[in-house]
Amino acid sequence: MPKILFPDGKTKKFDKGVNGFIVAESISKSLLKKAVAMQINGVQRDLSDSINEDSEIKIITKDSSEGLEIMRHTLTAQVLANAIKNLYPGAKLAIGPTIKDGFYYDILFEKPISTDDFPKIESEMVKIIQRGSKIEKTLKSKDDAKRLFSLKDEIYKVKIIEESEQSKDFQIYKQTESNFFDLCRGPHLPNLNMIGPFKLTKLSGAYWKGDSKNEMLQRIYGTAWTNDKDLKKYLTQLEEAEKRDHRKLGKELDLFHLQEQAAGSVFWHQKGWTIYKKIMEYIRKKLDKAGYEEVNTPQLVDSSLWKDSGHWDKFRDQMFISESEQKILAIKPMNCPCHVQIFRQGIKSYKQLPIRMAEFGCCHRNEPSGALHGLMRLRSFIQDDAHIFCTKEQIISETLNFCKLLMEVYSDFGFEEITIKFSDRPKNRAGSDEVWDQAEKSLIEAVEKAGYSYELNPGEGAFYGPKLEFVLRDAIGRDWQCGTFQVDFVLPERLDASYIGEDGMKYRPVMLHRAILGSFERFIGILIEHYSGRFPPWLSPIQVALATINSSCNSYANELAKELENNGIRLTKDLRNEKLNYKIRELSNQKINFIAVIGEREVSNKKVVLRTLGSTNQEILGFEEFIKKIKISCRIS
């Protein structure tokens, strides 16, 4: 008789072969109605699965975050896929996972579809849901599963089965009111009645396995929620996100452009580069004040260093490679091994630690073309990267210092909601368990001493050490992971970095990897969308525009411009012979923070009429008063 341990600490014995339905009902009938799956010893399973040994059991309900993901997964694999096969019998199903806030399915169609087909597909999905089919699971051997999908000519399912290394049977899910079945890792809802409101959202291309050498499939995206209110809220957020899309605003505001001849790299225009330089200048001042020394390291580095560091084994496929004089060189994908080389020059004493080494390092990663996305995912980017070489005893104080610096920076950029995730050891890692125990313990102790709460993010640490991930929430409620802080005992050992301790003996330094923005390019993309292109004055490429009513006002406008420029204000002058309303509309569309209107009356009285972006009010200010206001407004608040 298996003994079941529940989350509240209570235990109960059941007959062997008991399943999730029986366990849920034993607690309450209301729980049974809400139950969608269960967690057995931390692993999600279907409610129909048997429990034959002592286990820790948690019932997953449809109103939980886990239940929502399971509902989305069922909607993708059992409803969207079924609808596609009903409407397009010749379509070939590939993969259909859940993603943040939704799901997608990659499909090969005989004739490509468009978003105009979405209403028809959604209508078919509703019909399938309304049948309220129960979902049953069967297990098939590798040969039987392959045969099953071969008969249906589902070429991608067959490939998945053939290439799978799993030894256990494959799970096949079937609806009781339909002939449709699919291969899936599960778990699934017990029946389709439990599916909430949904919407198909977009369509894109996707290479099979993300490899451009393979055929192009069509990826159908969708979202699903437990109620109409949440769905409506999310769709509203999507509409707002579309308006704020940094690629669209980047073009409209003349900040940057991207083109196929340099895929994954950015052509920065003057206005965009002004923002870039301003952020770099700001970060550089912060780092100087915090005791960092700025360095610069080579772009091309011999493969031997990457092999010694362990990056060659882990990231070789993401590196751009060049050959010269029978040597294999890699364009650096990260800065850390190079910083260790600087640390190793000369003998270091414990008295010199911590050494905080920063670099605005240009990195290149061979991302698949299908994964590239504006400024958010590139092949070439600059990190606000730094590495701190310290003793074990200094880990806590350095973590505290970094967290304080990071929070100040985020606040200055207008981000106040920050969450922290703690990512522990991944399956594929370097270093012994003893080393990882020490690194994880040190990092947890440090973040707790700093007074911050954190969420666990199991298995997502770097291959060389655990990390903290800092997640920003933007103006429309989206989360962006930017900053990272990693404790590394492995790389100093692999690259033979050492310092002389107080006792005259050699010791390995601890290496703390840290970034605040992540990459400048991606952070600027986030800022564009966060502010919808309306940057705070200190960050705007053009802070003030001077617009004259006629040419007789130009001399006074030039006088004002000279004084503003002397005070470091970025400005533009519109002295064209155009109607004022036309000028103001054009300047407002450029999202310039302040527009100073100058007419003959303003020239006579040495004043300006000041319009502020986002406000319908106007101020009449004298020359000196105007200059003072602009100077104050354009500082970091």
Annotated active-site positions, please? 336, 365, 383, 385, 387, 467, 513
DSSP state of 261: G
CB 626 within 8 A of CB 595: no
Backbone angles phi, psi at 507, to 5 degrees: -135, 155
Q: Is 110 exposed, middle or buried (0-12, 13-18, 19+ CB in 10 A)?
A: exposed
Identify the residue whose tokens are 């905080």: 356
- 234, containing H or E segment: helix 228-244
Cβ contacts of 154 within 8 Å, gap of 6 or more: 92, 93
What's the start-to-end Cα distance of the chain, in Å? 66
Torsion angles phi and psi, residue 594, rounded to 5: -130, 135
Note the helical H segments in 265-327.
Answer: 270-289, 303-309, 311-315
Angle between helices 142-151 and 155-163 (to 10 degrees): 170
623 near 606, Cβ under 8 Å? yes
Long-range contacts of 202-209 (CB under 8 A, 24+ apart): 202/115, 203/113, 203/114, 203/115, 203/118, 205/370, 206/106, 206/370, 207/368, 207/370, 208/94, 208/106, 208/156
The three-state secondary structure class of 529 is: helix
Spell out where 332-450 has E strands: 355-364, 380-390, 418-423
The DSSP bridge pattern shows strands 607-612 and 594-598 to be antiparallel
β-pairing verdict for 11-13 and 3-5 = antiparallel
Task: Name which of 275, 368, 300 is nearest 570 in CA terms.
Answer: 275
Q: Which amino acid is at 229?
A: K
